[in-house]
Structure 1
Amino acid sequence: MQKYADYIEQVEIESLWSGRRHVEWNLDRKVNVLSGINGVGKSTILNKLVKSVGITGDIYNHLLKGVHIKVNPADATHIRFDVIRSFDRPLLNADMLSEVGANLVTELDWQLFKLQRKFLDYQVNIGNRIIAALQSGEPDAAVKAQQLSEPKKKFQDLIDDLFSDTGKKIIRTENEIRFTQIGETLHPYQLSSGEKQMLVILLTVLIEDNLPYVLFMDEPEVSLHIEWQKRLIDLILDLNPNVQIILTTHSPAVIMNGWMDNVTEVSDITDQNLR
């Protein structure tokens, strides 16, 4: 029987880079920021941690050799997680392009395409739960139904606020995400790289449906305006207070809104004397 962990307590990596380093990182329940100069191993540590939980989140059967993680509760067998990488590179897979449409030209476009499908499933799930709440006959049925719809509304409000300088707003009468700007309808693929990146992050957080899970992010600040960088962590936690954030960054702005105590330098969690 699958039992899901709420968060990761500790990660230990043996023999990083052919035995020259040993990593032991105790993690905060909410926010963890891994920092350091280029080439020090931030992304390497994050990638090994991601691989250790397996594609399906099976932490019991898919542990990567030399990587050990402790979770809470300790007897959990799986963990929910998402991975967000920031680089908006060209989408080179020709078969993929022909399958989903030539208007998808970058990796962020492809992520948005997949998220749109998950967003539709999320809305069906929420809709069914709202109907069940209304049909329950309980005195507070209407209140419960409204509470179920609040996360989606909060997501839409956040995106409208972030995109307000350019006059873009989410069209709330459509099932898929579309925007209106000065009377014109825009697809998500027509947004700027920074707008796509923020949409990917917040949509990923939304469709986890307030469940406890881990959000891995590798330099999420790339393409984001500095004011968005400052708000990023707070926006994520506002949308899902049950998330655990584990990210790498080069940007001081990401931690400026009260997250400096959650920064860990790679040098502070590595033992370079092991051979």
Structure 2
Amino acid sequence: MIKLANHIKRIEISSLWSGHKHIVWDLRPDVNVLSGHNGAGKSTILNRLIQHLRSVPTTGDIQGNTRFGVKIEFDPSDATGIHYDVIRSFDRKMLSSEPIGALNDARIVTELDWQLYLVQRRYLDYQVNVGNRMIALLTSGDPEARDKAAIAANLKTRFLDIVDELFAETGKRIDRQSNELQFIQYDEKLPPYLLSSGEKQILLILLTVLTEDQQHYVLFMDEPEASLHFEWQKHLIGLVRELNPNAQIVLTTHSPALIMDGWEDAVTEVGDITV
């Protein structure tokens, strides 16, 4: 049976770029920002790590497996796997029309649209799970049940407030009467697929984090600053941590704005972990 880790402690990658470089990276449990010049290998390191995690069956021992030259150490040390999400920032056309055809929805035309569609399904499940948990708490006889139920409800409300605050300058707000994610702009309904690339990107990140329901897991992001306004970049890490303080963030970036809100110590240069 697989035992899930709280976070990744260390990754080692051997024979990066045909044996010329090896990577040894000790990770923090909260935020890890990988920086470096173009071509330094930031995305290559992230992709190799994700490739390794995806290659091992869920019943296998990811720590003990060294596929793709990757070795992982977890916390706790006897964990055999970890839950994770991957977010990439490119709003390009879908390479295959098959998923779109199956949905019969002409609004879904880019990879970000498709990711938004998938995470919206998670959002519906999340709302059901939170509702069921609140009912269980309120019928449990626990004297602190109301406070615990309020915490669960307040997290979703905080997510809605955050998105409304971010989109306020363009007159958009979330339709709070709808179970699905819909927006209102100047009294007209607006589906998320008609948002700008930057709006889709920030929405995808925050919605993904929310639907993990504050569990321990890793959020991988490859250059999440793409299409994001400077102010959104500055507050991105803080917003993710607010919605899920148990998430371990591992991201690559070219943007100094991402660390300007107190995360300078979380930066690792590719050269510093190359041996």
Q: Secondary structure at the match of 1:163?
A: helix
**Paired letter, 1:5:** A
Q: What is the identity percentage for the equivalent residue pairs of Structure 1 and Structure 2? A: 57
Number of the residue aligned with 1:236: 240
Number of the residue aligned with 1:126: 130
Number of the residue aligned with 2:5: 5
Number of the residue aligned with 2:37: 37
Q: Does 1:140 align with 2:105?
A: no
Correspondence 1:202-217 to 2 at 5 A: 202-217=206-221
Runs of 4+ more than 3 Å apart? 55-59
Question: What count of residue pairs does the alignment treat as equivalent?
Answer: 271
Number of the residue aligned with 1:153: 157
Once the two structures are TM-superposed, the CA of residue 88 in structure 1 deviates from its matched residue by 0.5
Once the two structures are TM-superposed, the CA of residue 64 in structure 1 deviates from its matched residue by 2.1
Distance 1:162 1:30 in 2: 24
Q: Secondary structure at the match of 1:70?
A: strand
Q: Does 1:83 align with 2:119?
A: no
- TM-score, normalisation: structure 2: 0.95
Number of the residue aligned with 1:98: 101
Question: Using a 3 Å threshold, how does the CA distance of structure 1 residues 20 and 114 change in structure 2: closer, same or farther?
Answer: same
- Alignment match of 1:115 (pick from 119, 133, 146): 119
Which segments of 5 or more consecutive residues in structure 1 lack a partner in the other structure?
Answer: none
- Alignment match of 2:264 (pick from 260, 264, 269): 260
Distance 2:215 2:108 in 1: 30
Contact 2:233 2:257 in 1 (8 A): yes
Question: Using a 3 Å threshold, how does the CA distance of structure 1 residues 11 and 59 change in structure 2: closer, same or farther?
Answer: farther
CA offset digits 1:71-97 (Å, max 9, x no partner): 100111120100000010011312122
Number of the residue aligned with 2:227: 223
Number of the residue aligned with 1:65: 68
CA offset digits 1:222-258 (Å, max 9, x no partner): 0000000000100100110001000000001111111
Number of the residue aligned with 1:51: 51
- TM-score, normalisation: structure 1: 0.95
**Paired letter, 2:28:** D
How large is the Cα RMSD of the aligned pairs? Answer: 1.4
CA offset digits 1:3-25 (Å, max 9, x no partner): 11000011000111111001101
Distance 1:179 1:84 in 2: 22
Contact 1:48 1:64 in 2 (8 A): no
Contact 2:220 2:249 in 1 (8 A): yes
Contact 2:2 2:58 in 1 (8 A): no
Number of the residue aligned with 1:199: 203
**Paired letter, 1:64:** R
CA offset digits 1:109-148 (Å, max 9, x no partner): 0000001111111111111111111112333322222112
Contact 1:57 1:79 in 2 (8 A): no
